[in-house]
Amino acid sequence: MTEASLDVVGIGNAIVDVIANAEDAFLAREGLVKGTMALIDAERADALYQMMGPAIEASGGSAGNTMAGLASLGGTGAYIGKVHDDLLGQIYRHDITAAGVRFETPAATSGPGTARCLILVTPDGQRTMNTYLGACVELGPADIDPETVAAARITYLEGYLFDPPSAQQAFRRAAAIAHAAGRQVALSLSDPFCVGRHRAAFRDLVAGHVDILFANEAEICSLYETNDFGTAAAAVRRHVAIAALTRSAAGSVILAAGVEHPVAAATVARVVDTTGAGDLYASGFLYGLTRALPLPICGEIGSLCAAEIISHVGARPEIKLSQLLAEGGA
Amino acid sequence: MTEASLDVVGIGNAIVDVIANAEDAFLAREGLVKGTMALIDAERADALYQMMGPAIEASGGSAGNTMAGLASLGGTGAYIGKVHDDLLGQIYRHDITAAGVRFETPAATSGPGTARCLILVTPDGQRTMNTYLGACVELGPADIDPETVAAARITYLEGYLFDPPSAQQAFRRAAAIAHAAGRQVALSLSDPFCVGRHRAAFRDLVAGHVDILFANEAEICSLYETNDFGTAAAAVRRHVAIAALTRSAAGSVILAAGVEHPVAAATVARVVDTTGAGDLYASGFLYGLTRALPLPICGEIGSLCAAEIISHVGARPEIKLSQLLAEGGA
């Protein structure tokens, strides 16, 4: 096994977020489930956008956010995802590259435009997401660059990638390349409904191909079809080397080698927008892990990064996370 | 004179902001003057964007920001400005319409794309702007809808509108229509360099066609080519009925009918991004003025709105300003 030249390669849906404030009544009227992600088609995206308030646009995508956060901490990373060669695609490429992440997946020149996620932020800071996958459906196994994957200590896959049809093959190909190169594979379950849509495939993947699993309570419970967090936690620890389970304001718990490490959430003066909380937790955790830091410290760095992201609108860090870390947050 | 059906019609450059953090060294290296606006061409815009950090996109434009703020306070407004029929133009139209502002200027279908302003925010919260005017150069007198202008109590013109060549004619046409309908004309000087580029035209306008003038210290001093604020203030009060002169953290001073009203700045916990401070001061001031509130109260509402906008990234309000006002800020 050669020395890894990258900390993490992240693979995910390359999405530009369109973020607006909304009242709870708006969610109710439109039948949206708070805190979750729904897939929508182009027509619905246009209609929903018409109804939304003034918005800001910012690059997003779960694994993209995680990679931007990792780079902001000082980690080295690459990203694999599919944009279209249009204005939003150019914005996406600019933002992730300018964040310090290598991004070489070619843009699609035919087919649908770059993906958008219409995010409604309610007064409680919770986000409700509506994703039009657009060009993400064009991602396939051919986009997985074997050298990049083999060069990274960890290949990080977002669960959302199971939604576009051919991405699952890309996903499995990346995991196989990583393991053949003696690397680790990490997976984020992303969303309880996403888990519901692909439960069998996720269970198969977790049981046989995942070393490090990220999930929140709703997601891990959905995976094992239980309402009890303890039951779900007991199930997952049989399958993966490390499970980092996040519990919002209650912090997180890390399960590894038969030991359970509770980690407190970092303090936040005011929760403005929870978009990206899980993604940035993963940034911090993976940063620590690729530096062989103790697991509770990995979790604390994750909490610190999550706390930064929920203190403002948008899912990419507004300050250098390396500086935040140096200032002694963790 | 018929009853006005609108509080304010704002006319300006319709611009999408591209906002990124930058170090002071970046400004120095690129020869940018902190706190000011520079005009750039498409090629320079592309080059500068390449060098910028990760950004967010948000609708902007000085008068556009002012109108969005006015609507957020509960005022009624319309906006006249030129976008192209492209993605950024659609975003611009969505945002200002969703803010509650009437926007009926047709998009250009030929010529350059929608305008962009590359905004660099330094760690002190100051913004340095680089504007590619794009479709704004297509705005002309034919875009001034006489009925809309005649229906508004106040026609508000941003000084930046003097930069695109045919907009100055649009500007003068709007002022003439407003006065013929017995309405008032307000002007914001926008930027000291913009004043420098068009000093003679601005002086002519201020002396003969403007009732209400907004300017900061640098702008009013540039207009009268003096380094002394007192001298500039004495000059302007001979020409306009009301001058609202802003002085950053030192608040503002309102000159009217031989009286000088000092107004304190509203408290801000942390200045994140000063983009839009002057624009939102104008929102608050015009809101008060169109409700015939005493001038010091108009200034206080202006300060309150400016304080909200500089507490976050972007130049459009993140909360309902009417609620902020009701909560007793002013």
What is the per-residue pLDDT across A273-296, written as a single tens digit (0 to 9) for each?
999 999 999 999 999 999 999 999
B91:A57 CB<8 A: yes
Identify any residues that bridge with B214 across adjacent strands, giving them in sequence order. B188, B244
A54:B53 CB<8 A: no
B94:A313 CB<8 A: no
Question: For chain B, what is the radius of gyration of the CA atoms?
Answer: 18
- The dihedral formed by the CA atoms of A284, A286, A291 and A294, expressed in degrees to the nearest 10: 80
B147 within some domain: yes
Residue of A nearest to B312 (CA): A312
| B329 confidence band (pLDDT: 50, 70, 90) | low
Nearest by Cα to A191 from A240, A224, A229, A158 = A158
pLDDT, mean of residues A55-66: 97
B324 to chain A, any CB pair closer than 8 A? The answer is no
Q: Domain of B292?
A: 6-13+60-110+135-326
A205 within some domain: yes
B270 to chain A, any CB pair closer than 8 A? The answer is no
Distances (CA, A) of B211 to A31, B5, B144: 50, 20, 19
Q: What are the helix (H) ranges across chain A?
A: 24-30, 42-51, 62-73, 87-98, 146-151, 167-180, 192-197, 199-209, 217-223, 229-236, 277-290, 295-309, 321-326
B64 within some domain: yes
B116 to chain A, any CB pair closer than 8 A? The answer is no
A93 within some domain: yes
Residue A4 DSSP class: P
Nearest by Cα to B316 from B74, B54, B70, B34 = B70
Q: How many domains does chain B have?
A: 1
A307 within some domain: yes
**B22 Cα to chain A: minimum distance (Å):** 11
A114 within some domain: yes
Res A330: pLDDT: 45
pTM, entire model: 0.94
Query: What was the ipTM of the complex prediction?
Result: 0.92
CATH number of the domain encompassing residue A226: 3.40.1190.20
A1 within some domain: no
| B304 confidence band (pLDDT: 50, 70, 90) | very high
- For the stretch B62-117, pLDDT in tens is 999 999 999 999 999 999 999 999 999 999 999 999 999 999 999 999 999 999 99
B167 within some domain: yes
